[in-house]
Chain A
């Protein structure tokens, strides 16, 4: 059973992702907005995929405020975590946002909020987890 780390600052949204991923996808889920916890979990090999919110209002790392883009970059720079697939989840869904965010963060995929199809999200997670495990 794949383990998904949900990084999300909005409680309602976090709860929603948790429900979709567990009930629809049958994954196990951890929700956090704490940068240190993200680093630790990704570093100890317990995470198969990260769902990363772009706008983070309360997340600090190394004394600085960081957003989902910064966190993704940090993870991709870690030798041990660089192969963990990252899906950006964001309500920033204007033209060009998808390309810009993927390029800046080094993340693997991008999903805009609101989530229109729960199954599609689950399929995406499965595909990315399987691909990374095959590699």
Chain B
């Protein structure tokens, strides 16, 4: 029974056959000896036998364990290699295993080296971006890196249109294309590698969908064939051998300004996608730098322009000051000269120094003509001051110009004859100018007086004709003429060709200035021309013709007439517009600066703003553009008509600022009839306007 028990235990412990048999023999001998001796010894012997058998079994088990350990060593854990049974096989397996490991490590080292190289290149790129302001060169660098390291077939840089200036120009002029981005802003392909213009229209009509598909941040990668095929035409991809695509946003302070994209023949790994994304960021920063550099340059050049302008104004002020002193000097001299005659001859009479009645008469005549001369001077100075102060009376009416010219000629006939000059008029038209008859006489007197004074011999001829909406009066002489260098000065205030004490001709130098002011006061213009010294002079003036049926008011206006605000800093031009509008029945007010106009618009609600346009040309009207913008933004409607000498400037402003509808812009000197039609149209009752 015990033997059976042993047997079953041994069998359970998986003891091999040989030891099993030996154990059995030992147990049998012990049992036989035990049965033979009998008595007290039997139990002792039995116990000893059992212990001996257990020791033998334990010993056998230890040897088994050693063998199993060896087998474990020849069979690598987790491997698929079968447990080699011989030692040679075992060593071969170990070698193969080591070689495989070596290859993998080498590949990993290679990968690490490549990444290190790319990172180094990226660092270089960043350094270059930081030290150079040549963004174009940087773009080219990054393109080259994309081609060398990432197998780029096509590399592209897209920028939103407002950022175009930052790059300055396209790298490839051939590859410029504009697409709408998802956010509605147009983006421009600013630089491209590997794309031809022709290709853009076909393959890159898919360029547009590309940016369309990309989410609003421009980020997209497609590094497997399926998603690439979904984005692009497979035939095109195959023709260019393209296997992956990546687009990265260029962001500046959270704002996306464009994208950097590459089409590659390699499959791009995550690491390289990361490096490319860094490149995109470097590019974005460089572009931002470039733009702020350009902005600061622009500010600098604007400052320089402002300084130059200031300098110019200073010079102008100094020049005006000089001319004023010269004028004072001249006027003082010119007033004292006739006074000398008046006082001197009267003094001789008072002191009874005339020999006889004949001499008395001569003294009186001399004193009288000096007084007349003085009166003319005083009249001129006063007229000019009056015009410049805006007090000039102006009675606009349809005037028969030819009649005025003929009577002026009669007034000067005697004076011309004394100098032996021919004075004649040629009238090829019979215009009616819209002007003040007395002022026109004053102008003609000045022009004829000047022409006769400065012409030693020859002819003074007056011609009258029509030129478009204007009437033209020309006074041509064969006199001393004017040096071309000096002509531009001559219409300026108080100018005579020679301001020195050696002047050959007397006069205050006010004649032409007064003429110009008077002509401008009546909405006209003066032009002076001379081929040169001793080649004669032609002064031509243009005055607006009388519009047929001079009534501006719409027949349906009932009650109070429309109110027109005239914003014009030049008092002469302003006076004319006010008088002209007044003649046509409008209520008007003349305002010379923008701030006052703003107040008037707010408080008096004019029906029309008639304004000059000067921008920075004149300080007083510096804010015209600002005022116009305010008016366009205001909910209240205030029609505008611009009357200016800077037609192009005004027109460009409305176009640039996109203000519509663009108001009528009239060039000075204006056609009075057209101006009044425009005003009538703009102030017409609402239902008329709609029609």
Contact = CB atoms under 8 A, between A and B. Distances in A.
**Genuine A/B complex:** yes
Closest 10 CB pairs of A and B: A91-B336, A114-B340, A113-B340, A16-B344, A67-B501, A65-B502, A114-B343, A12-B341, A55-B501, A23-B353
Contacts of A114: 336, 339-344
B339 A113 contact: yes
A111 to B, nearest CB: 11
Interface of A: 10, 12-13, 15-16, 19-20, 23-24, 54-58, 65-69, 90-94, 112-116, 118
Of A10, A12, A15, the most chain B CB neighbours within 10 A belong to A12
Contacts of B385: none
A91 B353 contact: no
Interface in B303-347: 328-329, 332-337, 339-345, 347
A13 B348 CA distance: 13
A58 B353 contact: no
A63 to B, nearest CB: 13
15 contacts: A13-B344, A15-B366, A16-B341, A16-B366, A24-B353, A56-B501, A57-B502, A67-B502, A91-B332, A91-B335, A92-B501, A115-B340, A115-B344, A115-B347, A118-B347
Contacts of B369: 12
Interface string B472-501: 000000000000000000000000000011
Contact of B337 (A10, A24, A94, A116): A10
Of B328, B343, B369, B501, the most chain A CB neighbours within 10 A belong to B501
B505 A91 contact: no
Contacts of B370: 12
A113 B374 CA distance: 14
Nearest to A117: B347
A31 to B, nearest CB: 14
B332 A56 contact: no
Contact of B502 (A56, A92, A93): A56
A13 B506 CA distance: 14
B503 interface: yes
Interface residues of B, number: 29
Nearest to B333: A91
Nearest to B330: A92
A93 B339 contact: no
Of A15, A16, A94, A112, the most chain B CB neighbours within 10 A belong to A16
Nearest to B500: A67
Contacts of A57: 502-506
A116 B344 CA distance: 8
B328 A94 contact: yes
Contacts of A112: 336
Contact of B332 (A15, A54, A93): A93
Of A56, A67, A91, A112, the most chain B CB neighbours within 10 A belong to A91
B156 to A, nearest CB: 77
B351 interface: yes
Contacts of A24: 351, 353
Given A67-B500, A94-B329, 6 more contacts: A13-B344, A19-B348, A57-B505, A91-B333, A94-B328, A114-B340
A93 B332 CA distance: 7
A20 B351 CA distance: 11
Of B335, B342, B344, B503, the most chain A CB neighbours within 10 A belong to B344
A81 B339 CA distance: 32
A20 B353 CA distance: 9
Contacts of A54: 501
A57 B502 CA distance: 5
Nearest to A91: B336
Interface string B651-682: 00000000000000000000000000000000
Nearest to A17: B344
A113 B504 contact: no
A68 B500 CA distance: 12
A92 B329 contact: yes
Contacts of B340: 13, 16, 91, 113-115
Interface string B563-597: 00000000000000000000000000000000000
Nearest to A22: B353
B353 A113 contact: no
Contacts of B334: 91
Contacts of A23: 348, 353
B344 A20 contact: yes
Contact of B351 (A13, A56, A90, A118): A118
Nearest to A64: B502
A13 B341 contact: yes
Of B345, B347, B366, B506, the most chain A CB neighbours within 10 A belong to B347
Contacts of A10: 337, 341, 506
A24 B334 CA distance: 27
